[in-house]
Amino acid sequence: MDHRLGFEPVREECTRKRLPVEGDLPDWLAGTLLRNGPGRFRVGNRPLNHWFDGFALLRRFGIRDGAVVYSNRFLRSEAYEHAREHGALGFREFATDPETGPLGRLKRLVSIAFTDNACVDIEVRGEGFVATTESPRAVSFDPETLATRGHHERERLGTTTTVHPHYDARRGETIGYTTRLGRKPGYTLYRIPDGGTEPDVIGGVTIDEPAYLHSFALTENHIVLTEGPFVVSPLDLLGGASVAESFAWKPERGTRFIVFDRESGDVAATHRAKPFFVFHHVNAFERNGEIVLDLVAFPDASVVGALSLDNLRSPSPSLPTGALRRYHLPKGSTRAVERETLYAGHVELPTIDYARRNTRPYRYVYGVSNRKRPPAEFQNRLVKIDVESHTTETWEEPNTYPGEPVFVPALDDAATAGEDEGVILSVVLDAAAERSFLLVLDAASFTERARAVVPHPIPFGFHGQFYRAGERPTRSMA
Ligand SMILES: [Fe+2]
């Protein structure tokens, strides 16, 4: 078997299964790795079309005193319960809609209610944990048992929202955006102060054809939306096309950086660059009169279609290369935007030492990567990129496919600690052994410290967070 095992469904849930650990786990590593991703890819006899459509399966690794316990549980979203009960989709997923027919189309004409199948990321809202997707309908769950608790209606400020809000620990606030697709389309920025649950609007813009935005950049004084020319036609969306079909690549528009003042919410500048597509920003900071902004750039939006399950399940899926790119946005001048390639790729699911380095100069990016460029198969190695020296280190093993690497710093109060002093946690599919394991790498040397072996394969996930015992959760990535 190969990477295709990572797109096979999970049949059984498991609770607090103690895993055999090989190697030695650091004494200080205590907490919970919570991850999210699809775990089922059919409804009745009907296959779902896209990786983003699969039903959310929460995964939990509890780590304490050198022991690891694993649980997984499907999120009991309305979408999941409807599919289980009726053997048919009840909500619009990203690229699969409920069966068409006169009634279905009519229903969609009057409503663009999206799914609550929150299969992409984990977030903390107030005191509670929620599973998230780009629909504003998040689902809360118990981080110990993974049991679904109920709905958490997020921002009512827009039609879709981001799964990658920023958390600024120094200011004690969460910042995010929503995309408005109805009347007065555009983007709205919001902030939620610590302890609050309701968002305050910071600002926003009106845009004729809003683009698909997956993440954004935050600096000390600015919020930057990177708007690639993958734009939605609200009429198509309202008229019955699937979400995925409602977007079109319009390269003549270029890619725009819309720079907002973080305090006033006003647009401070708009910069234009040659067209590219981005899912994930890595980090951004202000230095020498400019905003330095790092992200994973794709040549165009074909990556969205490439993540269809048909393509991913082929022996050699055709996948475009994501490159780590740095943009220099001049502040207060009309100088052109400059760009440089930090790593020609492939890299995706980038993470940093988020709690200490986000919005600040930094050195290390971790991500999933590929031995070949363009990728000849699914992500098959991990990479650590030094953005100062442009050097890389990699971890790989035959027939294994690692997931998003999450950095966990070694010390609680680590102002003087090295940026890569800590570990990387990644859930790796061992296709030959037909099981997965939690890999623990020493982040500095990028070599294995330990692994905890799960007795079955875990489907590939998207994002997750590590929550240290007794501490306020922080995000691991942008
Ligand atoms: Fe993402």
**Residue corresponding to tokens 């475009």:** 320
Q: How far is the CA of 151 from the centre of ligand 1 (A)?
A: 21
Residue range 86-90: mean pLDDT, rounded: 88
Given pLDDT bands bounded at 50, 70 and 90, which one contains residue 81? Answer: very high
Q: What is the pLDDT of residue 110?
A: 43
Res 477 pLDDT > 70: no
Name the strand (E) or helix (H) holding 150: strand 148-153
332 to 235, 268, 288, 329: CA distances (angstroms):
37, 8, 12, 10
Q: How far is the CA of 184 from the centre of ligand 1 (A)?
A: 26
Q: How far is the CA of 214 from the centre of ligand 1 (A)?
A: 6
* Range of the structural domain that residue 102 is part of: 3-468
Q: How far is the CA of 239 from the centre of ligand 1 (A)?
A: 27
Q: In this prediction, what percent of the chain has a pLDDT beyond 90?
A: 74
Q: How far is the CA of 281 from the centre of ligand 1 (A)?
A: 9
Res 30 pLDDT > 80: yes
Q: What is the pLDDT of residue 182?
A: 78
58 to 7, 143, 217, 365: CA distances (angstroms):
15, 10, 27, 25
Q: How far is the CA of 101 from the centre of ligand 1 (A)?
A: 33
Residue range 247-266: mean pLDDT, rounded: 96
Most confident of 96-100, 148-152, 195-199, 311-315: 311-315
Say if CB 346 and CB 385 are below 8 A apart.
Answer: no
Q: How far is the CA of 197 from the centre of ligand 1 (A)?
A: 22
Q: How far is the CA of 215 from the centre of ligand 1 (A)?
A: 7
Residue range 317-332: mean pLDDT, rounded: 95
Q: How far is the CA of 116 from the centre of ligand 1 (A)?
A: 17
Say if CB 138 and CB 151 are below 8 A apart.
Answer: yes
Q: How far is the CA of 20 from the centre of ligand 1 (A)?
A: 30
Choice among 117-131, 144-158, 213-227 with the minimum mean pLDDT: 144-158
Residue 475 maps to a domain: no
Q: What is the pLDDT of residue 475?
A: 55
Residue 473 maps to a domain: no
Residue 411 maps to a domain: yes
Residue 477 maps to a domain: no
Count other C-beta atoms under 10 Å from residue 85's C-beta: 9
Q: How far is the CA of 477 from the centre of ligand 1 (A)?
A: 9
Q: What is the pLDDT of residue 107?
A: 52
327-349 per-position pLDDT tens digit: 999 998 778 999 999 999 899 99
374 to 133, 196, 348, 378: CA distances (angstroms):
28, 44, 13, 11
Res 372 pLDDT > 50: yes
Mean pLDDT score of the chain: 91
Residue 476 maps to a domain: no
Q: How far is the CA of 375 from the centre of ligand 1 (A)?
A: 19
Say which DSSP state 238 is in: H
Q: How far is the CA of 282 from the centre of ligand 1 (A)?
A: 11
Q: How far is the CA of 464 from the centre of ligand 1 (A)?
A: 10
Given pLDDT bands bounded at 50, 70 and 90, which one contains residue 191? Answer: very high
Given pLDDT bands bounded at 50, 70 and 90, which one contains residue 27? Answer: very high
Domain count, the chain: 1
Residue 34 maps to a domain: yes
Q: How far is the CA of 416 from the centre of ligand 1 (A)?
A: 30
Q: How far is the CA of 433 from the centre of ligand 1 (A)?
A: 28
Q: How far is CA 57 from the centre of its chain?
A: 15
Count other C-beta atoms under 10 Å from residue 390's C-beta: 12
Residue range 227-231: mean pLDDT, rounded: 97
SS3 of residue 188 by DSSP: strand
Residue 474 maps to a domain: no
Q: How far is the CA of 13 from the centre of ligand 1 (A)?
A: 25
Q: How far is the CA of 424 from the centre of ligand 1 (A)?
A: 18
| Residue 84 to residue 79: CA distance in whole angstroms | 9
Q: How far is the CA of 106 from the centre of ligand 1 (A)?
A: 32
Given pLDDT bands bounded at 50, 70 and 90, which one contains residue 113? Answer: low
| Residue 131 to residue 116: CA distance in whole angstroms | 9
Residue range 62-83: mean pLDDT, rounded: 95
Choice among 248-262, 335-349, 412-426 with the minimum mean pLDDT: 412-426
Residue range 10-14: mean pLDDT, rounded: 93
The dihedral over CA atoms of 148, 153, 155, 156, expressed in degrees to the nearest 10, equals 160
Q: How far is the CA of 366 from the centre of ligand 1 (A)?
A: 14
Looking at per-residue confidence, does 290 or 152 come out higher? 290
Show the tokens assigned to 108. 């969609």
The dihedral over CA atoms of 122, 123, 126, 130, expressed in degrees to the nearest 10, equals -30
Q: How far is the CA of 3 from the centre of ligand 1 (A)?
A: 20
User: What is the rounded end-to-end Cα distance, in angstroms, of the chain?
Assistant: 33
At 104, phi and psi to the nearest 5? -60, -45
Res 236 pLDDT > 90: no
Q: How far is the CA of 58 from the centre of ligand 1 (A)?
A: 16
CATH number for the domain harbouring residue 426: 2.120.10.30
Residue 260 maps to a domain: yes
Residue range 447-473: mean pLDDT, rounded: 90
Say which DSSP state 146 is in: -
Q: How far is the CA of 212 from the centre of ligand 1 (A)?
A: 12
Show the tokens assigned to 363. 């050195």
